[in-house]
A and B are shown apart, each in its own frame.
Chain A
């Protein structure tokens, strides 16, 4: 039996603060903020991290896995420094997300779900990001870019290379 993954002392304190916001009988509701905390702590939410969150809120691990795998913003694998997610739901598809994705893929030299060798970029597709009227939409880390074109992709990448 491997030792289960545990938060660091500092993260545990933050977890306690998060849990404090919920009445004892609704501890389970803290699952999403705690998953965010886990992602900050380890960069991605591994199965072990899900089990760790489950222990904290006192529920079975599968209940946490259901949520962690439902929301695409939780990374299930280690990711690069910047995560680029191209929306590929129908409205964005109609406005040309395909060429945005292809362009990104070519520029970075990686395919879907892959990370560049230097660990800088991870390329993803995402479901609708709720900005369908401004497609194609690209999510860069936590920032949404709309009306994205291959040219705009180049600008964004240059920006990221700098920062």
Chain B
């Protein structure tokens, strides 16, 4: 590309613009507004509407400014009579075809065509008679999007949004002439098509053709229900769901969130997925906790409240049912904050005094802000007096982080996922990216459209494989053999980066001889992948200049999860694919703030900023800063704490926003563990399955109700802003923690003890930054101004060296999973997520749209296996393991291989974690969620 500029005049003003810019872009940067309709700066121009025409001196016709490039000496006029007439006529013609009396979008202030009409004082009446197309019925089959083809002006924006931006390829233009229509898939109703409800098309549609279905519903419910421009406040924030951390705006009216849109000015350029765009209403769900609750005297011994709510239909009804509230009242009574907090403080201290601080533990959450996560771990370490503090990172990337820390000295993602647009090969292993990191996946798919190769390796074919240049299915649990086989071929072919290995790594000599036996043939015997495919993948990966490696839970959630990650790291180091743009190691982080929660010390062995709690010097520094002696013992991790609860060594717990009852492996064991605890405080926004075992429940706040910072998977620190007030007496999580800390300190040390006093999240952040070198220089002011990654100004890590100096190779051998299928349990169970739901479903199952799209649990099996069992697609089956059994609907799918089944983990009425194995990876302490042996049996259908 050249950086030349050209000089031209627009409306008599002389200006310069970069060569290659369009007239529209040049005008815009000079503050001259040219109306557009089919153009959206995020999309490639197609110039089909001609509304943007301008007068160019000596040009024969009026060119379209959105596509015509500037030229040296060009003289452009945007306001001549000819231009105005042409524009008005075009707009009138388009308006004449609009459905009459349809003011939905006008009310919502989103109808660009209507706006343009007003602006140009159009009068479509003279053309109306000529538009005699019979009206088409609306398509209301999608739970979130209303389609009214009568309003469609065929601007192609939705097609480009769906194809080129989100790369879902659902919408097209079918037919021709006056019969031309946009269509979904092979002409299906939208709700039956492959649409994933990302809403990108709705966001760009300039008419009422594609609208938020809620608007249509509420139009039917009277005008008051329609959100409109007036009285609606926009609050810029961050999506509360996954680690992609998309920028969102809440639209708030009368204290309620009326909608969510993407923010164009953020790193995700306005893109969202169905959760981010349509999953916001959980925050207004009637089951929100609004008053502290205390277990009634007669409600001991504890048992799960929802035990006989197991049928899913009842479960879904329980989400709305008043009966459910009656049940809660039988077990818990409402209390004042003072009473609840004093009770919590007193009982926790009793345990501390009788059994020692090690009998207490806390599970924090990766959903809360950095400030809240920091306060939580500080409360546990300083006031509880123990390092037994952990959160769900343990269940996702603990093994990846262990391997990364050992190999290069840092668990952080090295490069932003957007750099896929600059790479040659995208290597995706053990990641269902389209469902779990949808917006990151959109960049990957875009990169493939622009010529990058994408190799997807996974035992269960993830949907992103449909966009890959190559998909490799291998036997579950054989990742190491596969990766070793790839490395073997890379060495055999001499494709390793000798210079990088010599300059930046050590212990390569241990790896080379070790890999000798992993010939493609040997790897093939273990993995089931043909040797030639192993060779081809190795060549494709090894020959390119730049490759990026992405992985998810498919790598980490195994008893050898750390070894899996070690092998990936070796593959990366050996080919020198790190330290440059378009390369790197990217363990895709799951929760919106799992990176941040770990960064601020919500993990047992590290204080904020990964400063080792085992290092006496570091400990001394934190003792000084926090003004108290700290626990010298390394703390326990999530599953270890649960084991402790079971054997009685852990007696009291505080849980903030975690639901181990559903999220941890081997649920029956977790149930016993929770029952066994002598005192459990749960701080949450809903009465989770875990809270059913609580002694005290503290009503907390959702992301939309608070201000604070979050760190996404790219290490980007972003501000989430408060859009609404917490309901009832619910309080901000940070305030609850501070209050509890102060009460406990007062009870222990009397009035003379120190007091925690903070002036909002900013002051907590300042304290964090003071103790955490990785955040140096990052302030709220800096985040308000621009996107910030930690370390400041370093989007690409490890350009010159690693925190350990040299990167370290660790050879790893293949070892089979913990529990192999056998005669009694012949199937392999894999667990994971679906696009619409989030973890234990506490939020998403209470979001109307998400529940409507994905209402019930299922087990995915191949049509062949179903036929062998004699079960019809959609019929119930019983799935059992050595640890328990569930009943759910069978779903035929070729995503899994024969002999394998997949169950999403979100559904309590058929909880996958009743079945899973709690065997742990020795280094990461992560359970083997991705592999256990199960049996599947038909059950007679009840109806």
Contact = CB atoms under 8 A, between A and B. Distances in A.
A1 B171 contact: no
B186 A61 contact: yes
Contact of A127 (B177, B184, B874): B177
Contacts of A50: 186-187
A1 B873 contact: yes
A1 B171 CA distance: 21
A26 interface: no
B410 to A, nearest CB: 39
Contacts, number: 54
Given A62-B169, A70-B176, A47 B892 contact: no
A28 to B, nearest CB: 12
Contacts of B173: 66
B750 interface: no
Given A51-B185, A70-B174, A63 B892 contact: no
Contacts of B175: 69-70
A141 interface: no
A62 B183 contact: yes
Nearest to B171: A62
Interface in B171-215: 171-177, 183-188, 194
B360 interface: no
Nearest to B182: A62
A63 B177 contact: no
Interface of A is mostly: helix
B186 A51 contact: yes
A61 B176 contact: no
Given A62-B171, A63-B169, A48 B176 contact: no
B172 A62 contact: yes
Given A1-B873, A62-B169, A63-B169, A47 B174 contact: no
Contacts of B174: 62, 65-66, 69-70
A29 interface: no
B145 interface: no
Interface in A40-70: 47-48, 50-51, 54, 59-66, 69-70
A140 B873 CA distance: 45
Interface residues of B, number: 20
Given A60-B169, A62-B171, A63-B169, A47 B188 contact: yes
Contacts of B188: 47
A67 to B, nearest CB: 9
B873 A62 contact: no
B425 to A, nearest CB: 16
Interface in B373-392: none
Contacts of A70: 174-176
B186 A47 contact: yes
A134 to B, nearest CB: 22
B877 to A, nearest CB: 16
B892 A65 contact: no
Nearest to A49: B186
B117 to A, nearest CB: 30
A65 B182 CA distance: 11
Nearest to B174: A69
B864 to A, nearest CB: 13
A47 B194 CA distance: 14
A157 to B, nearest CB: 28
B451 to A, nearest CB: 11
A66 B873 contact: no
B177 A62 contact: no
Given A1-B873, A1-B892, A70-B175, A65 B187 contact: yes
B244 interface: no
A51 B183 CA distance: 14
Interface of A: 1, 47-48, 50-51, 54, 59-66, 69-70, 127
**Top 4 A-B residue pairs of the complex, sorted by shortest distance between their CB atoms:** A60-B169, A62-B172, A47-B186, A69-B174
24 contacts: A1-B891, A47-B186, A47-B188, A50-B186, A59-B169, A60-B169, A60-B170, A60-B185, A61-B194, A62-B169, A62-B172, A62-B174, A62-B185, A65-B174, A65-B185, A66-B173, A66-B174, A66-B183, A69-B174, A69-B175, A70-B174, A70-B175, A127-B176, A127-B177
